[in-house]
Amino acid sequence: MKTLGKYLATAGVTAAIGAAAIVASSAPASAEVVCNRHGDCWHVRDHYDYRPEFGVVVHPDGWRWGRHSRFHWREHEGRGYWRDGVWIQF
């Protein structure tokens, strides 16, 4: 009986270590806020290298605009950016 208890305790510790390793090895989700010069802002899940001619600014996910700023959310799925009210996919 003592051997069974020792086995179960070892199995529990091994399972806990395995679960911790999985959590530690998973990459955190990357998110950013992107805004164009017209005040359109949207969230992106992955980091993209936007070309300078796209005219956008990339902010960290926690970024918030000021109280008197003229920004608004304009979400869209996929890779791209807003230009003159049109979603340009790339």
Structural domain contains residue 53: yes
Structural domain contains residue 11: no
Structural domain contains residue 3: no
Structural domain contains residue 58: yes
Structural domain contains residue 25: no
Structural domain contains residue 13: no
Structural domain contains residue 27: no
Domain tally, the chain: 1
Structural domain contains residue 18: no
pTM for the model: 0.64
Q: What is the pLDDT of residues 10-56, one digit of tens each?
A: 444 444 444 444 434 444 556 999 999 999 999 999 999 999 999 99
Edge-to-edge strands, sheet with 40-44: 56-60, 32-36, 40-44, 72-73
Domain extent at residue 53? 32-89
